[in-house]
């Protein structure tokens, strides 16, 4: 009788741990995103779309360019990694900052390298076990000084290799700037 009771208690403890992990890892209803509050995509924008917006400004004689990488109509975006590329003959990189779509430090880890002219590899990921971000928002902003008056057609772009995942670490198919799907 004592041996059977011990086995039942052990099985009950294992089951309780399983339920706790099931809920904490995002498989239970408690930590899944609630789709009812999600904004609908703007007209003409598909779900899970990345956009690049360029904003030119002038201060005195110097021209500046700010490029914003944004997420549009995402559901459960947990991490993204890739690289921005730019025309190093036309632009001088001056800085990069994290957007707040995935959260703010210390909730989010933001990594970027700026030591290679023409490329800015980056990674953003949530730190805790939680649901991903929903809706739209800024992922990062890169600032440049414009070096020439003759600008090429393509100044800044998102490189081909791109990793986008949800809170369960599944890949998310996204529409990239320019309309191609990855």
R_g of the chain computed on alpha carbons: 22
Of the candidates 48, 86, 82, the one whose C-alpha atom is nearest the C-alpha of residue 172 is 48
Sorted by where each begins, the domain ranges of the chain are 1-31, 42-165
Residue 177 has pLDDT above 80, yes or no: yes
Q: pLDDT digits over 24-45, tens only?
A: 444 433 333 434 344 444 555 5
Residue 56 has pLDDT above 60, yes or no: yes
- CATH number, domain 42-165: 2.60.40.680
Q: pLDDT digits over 137-160, tens only?
A: 999 999 999 998 888 888 999 999
The whole-angstrom separation of Cα 168 and Cα 162 is 17
The residues facing 112 across adjacent strands are 122
The whole-angstrom separation of Cα 159 and Cα 157 is 6
Percent of the chain at pLDDT exceeding 90: 60
Question: Is the torsion defined by CA of 159, 138, 133, 127 positive or negative?
Answer: positive
Q: Position of tokens 């403890």?
A: 13
């Amino acid at each position: 009788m004592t041996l059977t009771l011990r086995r039942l208690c052990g099985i009950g403890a294992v089951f309780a741990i399983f339920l706790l992990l099931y809920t904490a890892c995002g498989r239970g209803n408690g930590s899944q995103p609630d789709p009812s509050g999600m904004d609908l995509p703007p007209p003409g924008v598909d779900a899970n779309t990345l956009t690049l917006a360029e904003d030119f400004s002038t201060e005195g004689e110097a021209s500046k360019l700010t490029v914003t990488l944004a997420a549009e109509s995402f559901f459960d975006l947990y991490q993204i990694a890739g690289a921005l590329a730019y025309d190093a003959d036309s632009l001088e990189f001056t800085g990069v900052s994290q957007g707040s779509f995935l959260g703010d430090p210390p909730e989010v880890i933001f990594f970027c390298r700026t030591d290679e002219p023409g490329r800015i590899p980056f990674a953003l990921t949530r730190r805790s076990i939680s649901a991903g971000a929903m809706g739209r928002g800024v992922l990062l902003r890169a600032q440049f000084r414009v070096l020439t008056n003759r600008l090429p057609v393509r100044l800044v772009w998102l490189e081909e290799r791109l990793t986008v995942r949800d809170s369960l670490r599944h890949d998310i198919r996204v529409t990239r700037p320019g309309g191609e799907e990855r």
